Amino acid sequence: MWARAVKLGLRSWVGWRRGFTSKVDPQRSGRVTAEVIEHMERLALVDFGSQEAVARLEKAIAFADRLRAVDTDGVEPMESVLEDRCLYLRSDNVVEGNCAEELLQNAHRVVEEYFVAPPGNISLPKQDEQEPFSHI
């Protein structure tokens, strides 16, 4: 029962990705190729969702490309405006905590004092792979 619901959920998503990327214009001059899209969706665990989102990313990249015009030879990257100061380190004493119950209250699925997660180490289905669990 749950497997079917899951299949339906995943099917629409996988179906979108297949349909969408097959329409990708091979002549598009963008840096955002189908490979990059797939790679990024896996890394970010956020999907593009539409052609518009890809177009928006391309525009964002084109915008960022303007930085090439700046001469940064010999310039060190700046990570923080407080780089000249020492970071505050407090002493290693336990002064608070023991609030497991409070923290667990905000989670949807909890068993005793554990957050419950679905099984790990299962990659997202690739675009050209068959639907997962179709044998179930």
Partner 1 sequence: MLGRTLREVSTALKQGHITPTELCQKCLSLIKKTKFLNAYITVSEEVALKQAEESEKRYKKGHSLGDLDGIPVAVKDNFSTSSIETTCASNMLKGYVPPYNATVVQKLLDKGAVLMGKTNLDEFAMGSGSTDGVFGPVKNPWSYSKQYREKRKQKAHGENEDSNWLITGGSSGGSAAAVAAFTCFAALGSDTGGSTRNPAAHCGVVGFKPSYGLVSRHGLIPLVNSMDVPGILTRCVDDAAIVLGMLAGHDPKDSTTIQDPVKPFTLPTSADVNKLCIGIPKEYLAPELSSEVRSFWSKAANLFESEGAKVIEVSLPHTSYSIVCYHVLCTSEVASNMARFDGLEYGHRCDINVSTEAMYAATRREGFNDVVRGRILSGNFFLLKENYENYFIKAQKVRRLIANDFVNVFNSGVDVLLTPTTLSEAVPYLEFIKEDNRTRSAQDDIFTQAVNMAGENLTSAIPEPHAKEPEQLHVTSFSYLPMTNELAGIIETFVVT
Enumerate binding residues for partner 1 (CB under 8 A).
2, 5-6, 9-10, 13, 32, 36, 39-49, 53, 56-57, 59-61, 63-64, 66-70, 72, 75-82, 85, 87-90, 99, 102-103, 105-109, 115, 117-124, 132-133
Closest approach of Cβ 119 to partner 1, in Å? 6
Minimum Å distance from CB 135 to partner 1?
Answer: 14
What sign does the dihedral 10-11-12-15 (CA atoms) show?
A: positive
Closest CB 19 distance from partner 1, rounded Å: 16
